[in-house]
């Protein structure tokens, strides 16, 4: 089969243009690192890549929410753990004294109890690194607990006031996965103030109990004529407060475990989705460079052949 010169030249010119176009595209891909330079290059894949990018963005936000919730809960864990230790110390001070002990010993326990009282009150008014009161519910800029009993000399007995969001309100839930929320804070108003008809405390004598008020009452009365019934009442109040605080600690531990489990799933899915998006949109630079070199070599050969062939004419054969 014979191929005339014009057909050969047209075919060669098409090959040159095709290689030039491919080389330009490869140079763009290598420079940008992207397979598609615009949506029109591959509309179907572009839509899929956009959908995948949106899923990655949402999942990344969930990962950030998990980090925030975990940070808040870890901070609260440290505070509640110290608070539990302080309340147990107060109970030990009350357990180690009786009405038969000397006034000097009872006075010593009262002074130590005053330090515990102030420490517990400071813990109840803890702020996080951002300056928010962690036990104020939604009133994060408001100092939640106030009790001035030990601010006077001698100490007086006053009730505790709470200025935050009252329990069970003020709970902040953070979405850590689609439709899955984790409680990231707690309200301690039900730890320091609670109702229990089985207890008769010395400070109020009824079914409603104020932990800090009872500690203040113990501080005032220990050096004086404290009774065994009073000591039992103080310890009964502390026991309920410690139980209520323990429930908070268990809830926090459960929430941290849940976040840990959710994070594993989130990280696995993020890795899969990011790899899929990379495969869909990122160019294999090594392969692209090899193809570019091959195209350039092919272009040079075709161009050289085209140049030689296009310069031929009938007069080259006439003597």
Pairing of strands 180-183, 193-195: unpaired
Which H or E run includes 173? Answer: strand 173-177
Tokens of 240: 């309920």
Has residue 172 got a pLDDT over 60? yes
User: Residue 182 in 3-state DSSP?
Assistant: strand
pLDDT digits (tens, 9 = 90+) for 33-63: 555 565 566 676 777 878 888 999 999 999 9
pLDDT at 311: 54
pLDDT digits (tens, 9 = 90+) for 161-170: 999 998 788 8
Greater pLDDT, 264 or 315: 264
**Are the beta carbons of 239 and 91 closer than 8 angstroms?**
yes
Torsion angles phi and psi, residue 145, rounded to 5: -110, 140
- Reported as a pLDDT band with limits 50, 70 and 90, residue 99 is confident
Separation of alpha carbons 182 and 254, rounded Å: 10
pLDDT at 289: 64
Has residue 4 got a pLDDT over 70? no
CA dihedral 277, 281, 284, 289 (to 10 degrees): -170
110 Cβ contact list (under 8 Å, min separation 6): 218, 219, 220, 222, 223
pLDDT digits (tens, 9 = 90+) for 124-150: 999 998 999 999 999 999 999 999 999
pLDDT at 48: 83
Helix, strand and coil content of the chain, in percent to the nearest 5, comes to 65, 5, 30
- Reported as a pLDDT band with limits 50, 70 and 90, residue 1 is very low
Separation of alpha carbons 215 and 94, rounded Å: 10
Has residue 319 got a pLDDT over 50? no
Q: Where are the domains of the chain?
A: 5-53+280-314, 77-274
pLDDT at 65: 97
Q: pTM of the entire structure?
A: 0.76
What CATH number is given for 77-274 in this structure? 1.20.1330.10
pLDDT digits (tens, 9 = 90+) for 178-222: 999 999 999 898 899 999 999 999 998 889 999 999 999 999 999
Share of the chain above pLDDT 90, in %: 60
Has residue 9 got a pLDDT over 80? no
pLDDT at 155: 86
Separation of alpha carbons 282 and 289, rounded Å: 14
């Amino acid at each position: 089969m014979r191929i005339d010169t014009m057909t050969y030249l047209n075919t060669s010119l098409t090959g040159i243009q095709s290689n030039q176009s491919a080389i330009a595209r490869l140079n763009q891909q290598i420079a940008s690192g992207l397979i598609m330079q615009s949506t029109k290059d591959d509309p179907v894949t572009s839509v899929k890549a956009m959908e995948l990018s949106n899923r990655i963005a949402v999942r990344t936000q969930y990962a950030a929410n998990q980090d925030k919730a975990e940070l808040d809960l870890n901070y609260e864990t440290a505070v509640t753990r110290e608070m539990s230790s302080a309340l147990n110390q107060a109970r030990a001070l009350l357990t180690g004294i009786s009405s038969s002990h000397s006034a000097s010993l009872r006075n010593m326990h009262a002074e130590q109890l005053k330090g515990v009282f102030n420490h517990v009150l400071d813990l109840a008014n803890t702020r996080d690194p951002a300056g928010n009161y962690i036990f104020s519910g939604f009133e994060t800029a408001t100092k939640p607990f106030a009790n001035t009993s030990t601010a006077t000399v001698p100490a007086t007995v006053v009730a505790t006031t709470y200025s935050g969001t009252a329990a069970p309100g003020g709970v902040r839930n953070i979405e850590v996965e689609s439709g899955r929320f984790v409680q990231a804070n707690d309200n301690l108003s039900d730890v320091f103030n609670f109702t229990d008809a089985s207890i008769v405390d010395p400070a109020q004598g009824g079914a409603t109990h104020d932990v800090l008020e009872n500690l203040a009452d113990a501080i005032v009365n220990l050096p004086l004529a404290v009774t065994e019934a009073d000591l039992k009442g103080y310890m009964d109040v502390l026991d309920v407060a410690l139980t209520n605080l323990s429930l908070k600690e268990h809830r926090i531990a459960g929430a941290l475990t849940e976040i840990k489990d959710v994070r594993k799933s989130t990280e696995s899915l993020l890795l899969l989705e990011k790899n899929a998006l990379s495969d869909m949109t990122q160019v294999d630079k090594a392969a692209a460079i090899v193809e570019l070199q091959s195209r350039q070599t092919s272009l040079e050969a075709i161009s050289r052949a085209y140049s030689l062939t296009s310069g031929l004419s009938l007069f080259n054969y006439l003597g």
